[in-house]
Amino acid sequence: MAQSTAAEKAPIRVGVIGVGVMGYNHARVLCDLPGAELVGIADPDEAQRAKVAAMLGCNAVASIGDLIELGVDALVVAAPTHLHHDVALAAINAGKHVLVEKPIAPTVAEAEAIVAAAKAKGLALMVGHVERFNPAVEAVKNAIRGEEILSIGITRVGPFPPRMSNVGVVIDLAVHDIDLICHFTGSHIVDVQPQVKAAVADREDIALLQFRTANGVLAHINTNWLTPFKARTVHVATRNKYVIGDLLTRQVTECFDYKPDGSYSMRHLPVAYAEPLRVELTRFLEAVRGDRDPAVSGEDGVAAIATAMRCLEHFPAPKSAPETPLRVVAAG
């Protein structure tokens, strides 16, 4: 008898904790993702959880304990970042596999505690660095595979997001690209030279960050909340080519075959169509089943937040966000 496919196996019962913008999107994708069953959502905001439940036709409860009692196998933690540690540990201590939205936690110590707890329980832990699953990122990664990478430049700018309350551009935006630098180079960041400023806010809204990886690649990130339009671009220089990726339009261009007279060849590379969040959640389900390792490991998440915190070492901490009354009480 032929082996059954993942979609033919019993679906993995998943719950989503926190249904703001990102949490809602996780729940939306899980509603029709093969191999998954959205058991329910949890959010302390009664009006918000009722609205999302009505839109998606799913159960809605107030706490993680209530959600666990519905019989979940895995949980997506999309609560505010300052709650990630407590919520993730409650899920792990209840024996549930976990996908934690980026950044994994607001501090390195809390991030490491989450990783250690999941490892001790033998549970799948994945971090939601969704940009890894952007088809344009995959096309850039394929274009530079086997190349000697010399430098990487990433721009991620746009207007201030009203939803943001307790972090600046380094944690909200640059952490994506810190992870991408490690993803592209297959290395880790060893040197950090940050220039960070609060221009119009009480936390950093401009950051010019320079890095060097352990394998010698120079990289920089330009990010801010002052640009009136969104831009997300990646430039990678290798020994033999120059690759430009627009992560919004998902266009990837490769320049190559340089000539002494300054001429060169250029071509547009094929980019697959896919919703990054759908790919991310599919990979999470595969990790839960044990079919493959988590695509973005807990250690990857720790490395990203550790580098981000190094960028903020000499910058005043932002004002603390008001505590969200999310009850992190495990079932039983």
Q: What are the tens digits of pLDDT across the range 228-286? A: 999 999 999 999 999 999 999 999 999 999 999 999 999 999 999 999 999 999 999 99
**Sheet with 74-77: strands ordered across:** 59-61, 36-42, 12-17, 74-77, 97-101, 125-128
Tell me the residue type at 203.
R
Tell me the residue type at 323.
E
Judge whether 207 and 310 are in contact, CB under 8 Å: no
Q: Is residue 102 part of a domain?
A: yes
Are 141 and 256 part of one and the same domain? yes
Q: What's the pLDDT at 2?
A: 43
163: pLDDT strictly greater than 80: no
121: pLDDT strictly greater than 60: yes
Are 136 and 187 part of one and the same domain? yes
Work out the pLDDT band at 150, boundaries 50, 70, 90: very high
Over residues 301-327, the mean pLDDT reads: 73
What pLDDT digit, counting tens, does each position of 54-103 carry? 999 999 999 999 999 999 999 999 999 999 999 999 999 999 999 999 99
CATH number at residue 79: 3.40.50.720
Are 126 and 158 part of one and the same domain? no
Q: Is residue 325 part of a domain?
A: no
Are 187 and 83 part of one and the same domain? no
How many domains are there within the chain?
2
Q: How far apart are CA 176 and CA 184, in angstroms?
A: 12
Are 38 and 146 part of one and the same domain? no
Of the residues 259, 274, 289, which one is the last residue of a structural domain?
274
Are 19 and 108 part of one and the same domain? yes
Q: Is residue 254 part of a domain?
A: yes
Are 162 and 114 part of one and the same domain? no
Q: Is residue 175 part of a domain?
A: yes
Work out the pLDDT band at 201, boundaries 50, 70, 90: confident
φ/ψ bin of 28: left (φ > 0), alpha (ψ from -120 to 50), beta (otherwise) = alpha
Are 152 and 268 part of one and the same domain? yes
Q: Is residue 331 part of a domain?
A: no
pTM: 0.90
Counted residue by residue, the chain has a size of 332
Are 37 and 152 part of one and the same domain? no
Sign of the torsion angle spanned by Cα atoms 144, 128, 96, 93: positive
Judge whether 9 and 35 are in contact, CB under 8 Å: yes
Backbone angles phi, psi at 212, to 5 degrees: -135, 130
Work out the pLDDT band at 43, boundaries 50, 70, 90: very high
Work out the pLDDT band at 325, boundaries 50, 70, 90: very low
Q: Is residue 44 part of a domain?
A: yes
Of the residues 274, 308, 323, which one is the last residue of a structural domain?
274
- Closest residue by Cα to residue 61 from 13, 14, 29, 17: 17
47: pLDDT strictly greater than 80: yes
Are 138 and 119 part of one and the same domain? no
What pLDDT digit, counting tens, does each position of 212-223 carry? 999 999 999 999
CATH number at residue 221: 3.30.360.10
Q: What's the pLDDT at 166?
A: 75
Judge whether 181 and 132 are in contact, CB under 8 Å: no
Work out the pLDDT band at 167, boundaries 50, 70, 90: confident
Task: Detail the DSSP E strand segments found in 200-306.
Answer: 206-213, 218-224, 226-238, 241-246, 251-256, 265-269
Are 149 and 270 part of one and the same domain? yes
Q: Is residue 84 part of a domain?
A: yes
- Bridge-based pairing of strands 74-77 and 149-159 is unpaired
Are 229 and 292 part of one and the same domain? no
Instruction: Name the average pLDDT for the chain.
Output: 92
Token digits of residue 177: 């690209």
Q: What's the pLDDT at 203?
A: 86
Q: What's the pLDDT at 327?
A: 39
5: pLDDT strictly greater than 70: no
- DSSP, collapsed to helix, strand or coil, labels residue 225 as coil
Of the residues 274, 289, 317, which one is the last residue of a structural domain?
274
List the domain range (segments joined by +) for residue 190: 132-274
118: pLDDT strictly greater than 50: yes
Find the Cα–Cα–Cα–Cα dihedral 269, 274, 275, 277, rounded to 10°: -90
Q: What's the pLDDT at 164?
A: 59
Token digits of residue 133: 């699953």
Work out the pLDDT band at 309, boundaries 50, 70, 90: very high
Q: Is residue 304 part of a domain?
A: no
